[in-house]
Amino acid sequence: MQRHLITSAIPYINGIKHLGNLIGSQLPADLYARYQRARGNEVLFLCATDEHGTPAELAAAKAGKPVDKYCAEMHQIQAEIAKGFGLSFDHFGRSSSPQNHALTQHFAGRLADAGLIREVSEKQVYSNADGRYLPDRYIEGTCPNCGYDRARGDQCENCTKQLDPTDLIDPRSAISGSTDLEVRETKHLYLRQSALKDDLDAWIDSKTDWPLLTTSIAKKWLHDGDGLQDRGITRDLDWGIPVRRGDADWPGMEGKVFYVWFDAPIEYIACAGEWSEANDDADWERWWRTDKGADDVRYTQFMGKDNVPFHTLSFPATLLGSGEPWKMVDHLKSFNYLNYDGGQFSTSQGRGVFMDQALDILPSDYWRWWLLSNCPETSDSEFTWDLFQQGVNKDLADVLGNFVSRVTKFCRSKFGEAVPGGAEYGPREIALIADLDARMARYCAQMDAMEVRKSAQELRAIWVAGNEYLQSSAPWTTIKEDEAQAAMQIRMGLNLIALYAALSAPFIPGASAAMQSALGLEVVDWPQDAQSALTLLPPGHAFSVPENLFAKITDEAREDWQQRFAGLRD
């Protein structure tokens, strides 16, 4: 049995996320976690809400609520939506937790003791119109590198270049749009990432199985321009983790908080502490400290490409710089962007489908299947309602749903609601078993490698193989001349449904559970081979005909949704 620690990028607290956010981290992480559990491995799958920083403050102010109350309410909402999508977190934590406060301050103290934090007097942008210092994410302007006119003060989303607010051309407040900005002097703490450049470079070089997207972004930040820069880890804000050096005060840092990008990744570890506390004697250290047993853990992170620099450089710098035996990530699976219908998803303009809206119009499996089978692994991909309709109707309704319906209804009408006996498997069935063995091996290899789209393609091919068998064997014709042969063919079909329930569970857990329930099975173990899987249901085993697994999306519904989600969400 292997042990898998799995984390997905933690979503900001400031509102409900759209489908692009979902496929960029949480959903593929859940796919992998479900698969590893099904294979009998021990899994700890963690996520949380990212609750600090200006986004939380502004969202709370807009909602007219104290920021702590707003965050508590939004955490509950995001947790419920995650449950609606079947995201199987072992714990869904909060970066504002006491555990994260203590651990963040602990790391700051360790880094300071190691000489890896320096105090800097710097010039910071103050907005007279807003009456506050503007964190770099809330200053917008034109990128001096690529000319993108909506670059943020920390990073250009277009070219991914790391920036300082004063680098921007024609800067403005992202809060009010005001250009009445002035630069004031203030003191902040910087993590001396540059001192760890060689260590980080060597560590990244050792990860030969990482996606090219991950390593290329990390290397760009390490070597482009002046190389890896030291990174500010404090901010002039009210809401956040107070700057302390372990348990001690930090002179000169009164009233400041740690930068959200310093404390947010530390929440991955703190989240395990939260899980441990909620589960009595669960030992979180065996997952996170190599001196406590985590040396045999495989740690995998899932995230969108915009999060890669912080997880390949800043967070590893924190762990390495602490001098303590923390578990470092083994594999970082990064994704490109999912765009929406010829443009981009937009939270501010309400353009695209948000997670709560998606669940309102269709069950989660529809979304899970389409998003995973079209996920943006090697390049950006695009959601359109036409593509969504085609994918659901062809894959889920016509291939899988139709197979389940045809087999169970035919059996009920000709043999009753029990698996028929009949003849032994013949040459056609033996050939199918051999074909499925080869396909199942490829499917498992692709799932192990986290090749999400290829895994979906192979799973669909396994469904198609059953349909092709049903068409070629044609039990509705066979029964006219050889009832025993037709009974065997339908027995094979029912056992194929059991196989599909097991193999499909990581992708479409709801439909998998429905198939298992219809077959009278509490749990379908992961199949070791096709031969044993296709003899799971013996003659006489009772079953029921399930309701239609997947309804087709009509043209009328597609057109309605396309208009409804074009933009301007309230």
Q: Which residues carry a binding-site annotation?
A: 143, 146, 156, 159, 347
Residues 6+ apart with CB under 8 A from 545: 405, 408, 409, 412, 417, 518
Residues 6+ apart with CB under 8 A from 88: 30, 33, 34, 37, 45, 509
Q: From residue 18, how far is each of 11, 274, 351 by CA, in Å?
A: 11, 27, 9
Alpha helices in 39-117 (DSSP H): 54-63, 67-84, 98-113
- Residue 159 CA to chain centroid, in angstroms? 23
- 385-393: Cβ within 8 A, 24+ apart: 385/341, 385/558, 385/559, 385/561, 385/562, 386/558, 388/553, 388/558, 389/553, 389/555, 389/558, 392/366, 392/550, 392/552, 392/553, 393/552, 393/553
User: Is residue 408 packed enough to be buried (19+ CB in 10 Å), middle (13-18) or exposed (0-12)?
Assistant: buried
62: its two tokens: 């807009």
480: its two tokens: 């006219």
Rounded Cα distance between 181 and 101, Å, is 32
β-partners of residue 381 are 338
**DSSP string covering 462-491:** HHHHHHHHHHHH-HHHHTTT-HHHHHHHHH
Tell me the chain's radius of gyration from C-alpha atoms.
27
Q: Name the pairing type of β-strands 42-49 and 3-8.
A: parallel
Query: First CA to last CA across the chain, in angstroms?
Result: 49
Please enumerate, by residue number, every residue annotated as part of a binding site for Zn(2+).
Answer: 143, 146, 156, 159
Is residue 138 within 8 Å of residue 153, measured between CB atoms? yes
Task: Tell me the residue type at 107.
Answer: F
121: its two tokens: 């007097």
Q: Name the pairing type of β-strands 91-94 and 297-304.
A: unpaired
Half-sphere exposure of 349 (CA within 13 A, CB side): 10
Please enumerate, by residue number, every residue annotated as part of a binding site for ATP.
Answer: 347
Rounded Cα distance between 431 and 435, Å, is 6
Rounded Cα distance between 11 and 24, Å, is 11
Rounded Cα distance between 155 and 158, Å, is 9
- Residue 175 CA to chain centroid, in angstroms? 29
Is residue 60 within 8 Å of residue 71, measured between CB atoms? yes
